[in-house]
């Protein structure tokens, strides 16, 4: 692992544990480097945060693409669930982003939604996901629902998030939501298309006015 990657990984863990305002000297100590080396590699706290955001987004992208995008999607999902504890620092980092709010979170969510459009399109081509009338809107709703549910269950109201305890919480949380989520995605909640048909007709009529 490169020094840059070691610093980035240490920052993700430290920010997840103590919040996004955690001092860079603590990150440096965790990574076994000097604070000056962080500045050398990333330029500033903002540069380090940008690198952390990019890495977390990449991991989410790979995770979702592997789960939805191919004929072995079910097996990929189960394999990832078996290793969910390994995602604890990344989930902790996202929890801290949700806590902090602001423009950086907005940019992060925008990128999550943009990525979701792409991997959902790949899943459509693989025959695992139905096409959408509005792929961008569907992707954003799915992202916002997922993050909103996570925020409601936020185990990091305190100043310090216990990363050793977080894997247990993640396992419990996943086991609780997996059945209803898969039901909602696989077996439609509504028994017919009456509401959808009425909405589409109303919207089409509004567009013609």
What are 72-105's pLDDT values in tens digits? Answer: 555 555 555 556 667 788 888 988 888 888 888 8
Q: How far apart are the first and last CA of the chain?
A: 61
In the chain, % of residues over pLDDT 90: 45
- Nearest CA to 58 among 8, 126, 7, 98? 8
Torsional sign, CA 39, 42, 44, 45:
negative
Please report the pLDDT score of residue 73 as a whole number: 53
How far is the C-alpha of 22 from the C-alpha of 98, rounded, in Å?
16
What are 155-198's pLDDT values in tens digits? Answer: 655 578 888 888 888 888 888 888 998 899 899 899 999 999 99
Please report the pLDDT score of residue 170 as a whole number: 80
Q: Are 122 and 65 in contact (CB under 8 A)?
A: yes
Per-residue confidence band for 46, with pLDDT thresholds at 50, 70 and 90: very high
Alpha carbon of 207 to those of 87, 193, 202, 203, 204: distances in Å? 45, 21, 9, 6, 5
pTM of this prediction? 0.79
| Structural domains for the chain | 58-204 (1.10.357.10)
> When comparing pLDDT for 110 and 68, which is higher?
110
């Amino acid at each position: 692992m490169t020094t840059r990657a070691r610093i980035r990984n240490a920052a993700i863990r430290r920010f997840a544990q103590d919040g996004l305002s955690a001092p860079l000297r603590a990150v440096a100590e965790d990574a076994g480097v000097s604070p000056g080396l962080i500045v050398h590699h990333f330029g500033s706290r903002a540069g380090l945060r940008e690198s952390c955001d990019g890495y977390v987004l990449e991991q989410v992208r790979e995770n979702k693409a592997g789960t939805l995008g191919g004929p072995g999607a079910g097996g990929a999902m189960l394999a990832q669930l078996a290793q969910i504890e390994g995602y604890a620092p990344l989930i902790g980092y996202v929890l801290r982003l949700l806590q902090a709010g602001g423009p950086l979170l907005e940019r992060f969510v925008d990128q999550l939604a943009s990525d979701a459009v792409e991997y959902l399109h790949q899943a459509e081509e693989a025959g695992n996901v139905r096409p959408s009338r509005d792929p961008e809107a569907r992707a954003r709703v799915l992202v916002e629902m997922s993050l909103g549910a996570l925020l409601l269950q936020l185990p990091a109201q305190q100043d310090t998030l216990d990363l050793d305890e977080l894997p247990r919480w993640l396992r419990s949380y996943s086991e609780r939501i997996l059945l209803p989520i898969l039901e909602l995605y696989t077996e439609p909640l509504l028994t017919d298309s009456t509401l959808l048909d009425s909405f589409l007709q109303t919207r089409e009529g509004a567009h013609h006015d």
